[in-house]
Amino acid sequence: MNPVTQFAQSRLAWLILAGTALGLELCALFFQYVMKLDPCVMCIYQRLAIFGILAAGLIGIIGHKNRFMRLIAILGWSVSAAWGLKLALELVDMQTNPSPFSTCSFLPEFPTWMPLHEWLPSLFMPTGMCNDIPWEMFGITMGQWMIGAFTAYLIALAVFAIPALSKTR
C-alpha cells in the first residue's frame, strides 16, 4: 500500500479533518462571543457546513478501517465542503455587490423537523446582517477566508478520496 493510501485510511487523517473543522467552529464562537461579531444567516449555514465536515471526520475516526464507513465520511465531507463553498461565494457576492434585491433572510430556513435555531440558539441563531463586513485580516473578509477554507477542504478531498476508498490489503 502506498503512503498516501495508508495515510488516507488512517485514523490520523480523519482526526486532522475533524480537528481543523473543530478549530473553525471554535474560531466562529470566539468571533461571536468574545469579539462580539454577530453572525448572519449565511454565516450560520456555513457553520452548519463545517459541522458536516466535523461529523464526516468523526465518522472517519470511528470507521477508518471500514471501507463503507470511509465512503459515508467522504460523501459527508464532499457535500458539506461543496455546500459551504457555495454559501461562502454567495456571501462574498452579497458583500462586494450590495443590492436591495440580493439580501439574506433574518431567520435560517431549517426544516420544520430540525429547527436548529430553536434547539441551539447560541450556535444557530443569526443576529447579524449579510451585507455587513465586521472583520478583516490582511484585507481579506471572513467570507473570503471561508472560501479559502472550503476550497482547501475540497482540494484535500480530491487528493485523498480515491486512496481512502481503495481496498486495504
Which residues participate in catalysis according to the annotation?
Answer: 40, 43, 47, 104, 130
Cell numbers for 81, please give them. 465542503
Handedness of CA 136, 137, 138, 143 (dihedral sign): negative
Report how far residue 80's alpha carbon sits from residue 69's, in angstroms, rounded to the nearest whole number.
16
Between the alpha carbon of residue 167 and those of residues 16, 71, 102, 116, 122, the distances in Å are: 22, 12, 47, 38, 42
